[in-house]
Structure formats: structure tokens, C-alpha cells
């Protein structure tokens, strides 16, 4: 499905002034020659080629998806950690993960985040929109990210070690966020019915290499049908 521009870049509005929450997809899929399909048409086109068991898996995943809480991995040097964080995010229903590439010119704090933490993750309210930021394996989170953050938090450590592997820490944070949101809100997933259908169409288009071709053929047939005369 076609992605919308971030409202910050699109309109120049500051993040603090934005109302509501942001959903990244428009309800249209461009098939060329000015022909577009909406999410319902995409599902109608591709649906017959997807097994019912797979479609049920898509529906279950979409039901538990949220953009209200996202993960930001900043400056990680080990791709294995990035991959593990992505895998955990998908398993826990986080649809949005942002990667800030490693840049040696960035200034990093020299001590573990826990030394500067202000609150335990268990004392936070995770029901509001939150971006979870985890930093470089050795240097931690950059000064810039810390400067722009609203809150520094920590995972209480009960043993002799004073830190987790970054991907493990990300998984713990996301899992606790889901548990807290479910306790407070009744569920973690919070997409509207329209957003759910659009995301379901996006999943269906990614289902196989042939899905997009099938949608394009459907669009060609749609364009060939003459409009009824008034």
C-alpha cells in the first residue's frame, strides 16, 4: 500500500503539536497508468490465492498490532542484535521499528544508562504513545537522543551483572509494554477497522512474489470495464 509522508515533514508541524496518532499507509495501491486499488480491492484480488490458514494468521497479527509504541535502535554495530530486536518486535505486535545507523561522529555517553535512569520500567504507564530507544552495545545511547528524551528508565537488575545484551533488553522492554498496555487498556493492538484492513492488504501484498502481479492484473481488468452511462 502507498505510504504517506510523515506529518512533521509534510506540513512542518512540530511533533508536540500533532494531534491524534499517525498511521503510515494510505488506502490505495498504485498499479500504474493512474489506476489505484483500495484495500478492499487488494484483498479481493489476492485473497483467493492465499490459504485460509495463512489469512487467519494475518488477521490475528493485525488485530494485535500497534503503532502507538515503537522501538528505536540507535547505533547498533552488531547486525545480529538488530535482527533479534526486529524479530522480538514482530512477535510482540510492534508494527513500527526505526533504525538509526551507527555513526562514529556521534557523541555517546560513557556510562551505562542505568546510572542515569530516573524510573523503573515497572513504575511507568505504557498506555500512552511511547518510543523505546536502545543504544549502542558498548557506548549506550547518544547524548542527542538522551537530550531529546522525556524520560530515562531502567530494567531493575537483581544479580551481579549490571546490564543485559541490547536485544534482550529491547525484548524485555517491549514485552513489559505489551503486558502493561493489556492490563490498562484490555489489549495491546489499537488499530481502527479501516487501518486494520489497510494493513491486512499490505500483508497480503507481501505474501508472495506473485501477489503484486496478481493485483496489477486485477487493476487491468478493472480499468477495462466501461463505466456505466448516466
Summarised one tens digit per residue, pLDDT across range 173-222 is: 999 999 999 999 999 999 999 999 999 999 999 988 899 999 999 998 88
The secondary structure element, H or E, covering residue 97 is: strand 97-100
Sort strands 69-74 and 97-100 into parallel, antiparallel or unpaired.
parallel
Residues paired with 120 in a beta bridge: 154
Distance of CA 29 to the CA centre of its chain: 20
pLDDT tens digits for range 127-173: 999 999 999 988 889 888 888 888 899 999 999 998 899 999 999 99
- Burial (CB count within 10 angstroms: exposed 0-12, middle 13-18, buried 19+), residue 129: middle
State the fold for domain 68-185.
Alpha/beta knot (3.40.1280)
Taking alpha carbons only, the member of 192, 197, 168 closest to residue 46 is: 197
Contact 177, 132 (CB under 8 A): yes
Q: How far apart are CA 76 and CA 81, in angstroms?
A: 7
Listed by start position, the domains of the chain span 7-62+191-224, 68-185
Amino acid at each position: 500500500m502507498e505510504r504517506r509522508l510523515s506529518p512533521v515533514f509534510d506540513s512542518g508541524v512540530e511533533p508536540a503539536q500533532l494531534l491524534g496518532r499517525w498511521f503510515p499507509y494510505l488506502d490505495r495501491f498504485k498499479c500504474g497508468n493512474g489506476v489505484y486499488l483500495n484495500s478492499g480491492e487488494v484483498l479481493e484480488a489476492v485473497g483467493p490465492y492465499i490459504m485460509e490458514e495463512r489469512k487467519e494468521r494475518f488477521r490475528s497479527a493485525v488485530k494485535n498490532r500497534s503503532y502507538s509504541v515503537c522501538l528505536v535502535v540507535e547505533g547498533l554495530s552488531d547486525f545480529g542484535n538488530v535482527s533479534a530486536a526486529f524479530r522480538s518486535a514482530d512477535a510482540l505486535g510492534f508494527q513500527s521499528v526505526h533504525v538509526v545507523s551507527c555513526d562514529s561522529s556521534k557523541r555517546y555517553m560513557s556510562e551505562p544508562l542505568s546510572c542515569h535512569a530516573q524510573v523503573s520500567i515497572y513504575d511507568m504507564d505504557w498506555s500512552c504513545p511511547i518510543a523505546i530507544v536502545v543504544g549502542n552495545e558498548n557506548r549506550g545511547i547518544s547524548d542527542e537522543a538522551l537530550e531529546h528524551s522525556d524520560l530515562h528508565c531502567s530494567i531493575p537488575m537483581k544479580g551481579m551483572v549490571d546490564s543485559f545484551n541490547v536485544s534482550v533488553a529491547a525484548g524485555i522492554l517491549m514485552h513489559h509494554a505489551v503486558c502493561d498496555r493489556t492490563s490498562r487498556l484490555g489489549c495491546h493492538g489499537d488499530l481502527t477497522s479501516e487501518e486494520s484492513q489497510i494493513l491486512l492488504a499490505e500483508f497480503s501484498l507481501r505474501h508472495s512474489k506473485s501477489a503484486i502481479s496478481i493485483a496489477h492484473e486485477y487493476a487491468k481488468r478493472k480499468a477495462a470495464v466501461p463505466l456505466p452511462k448516466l
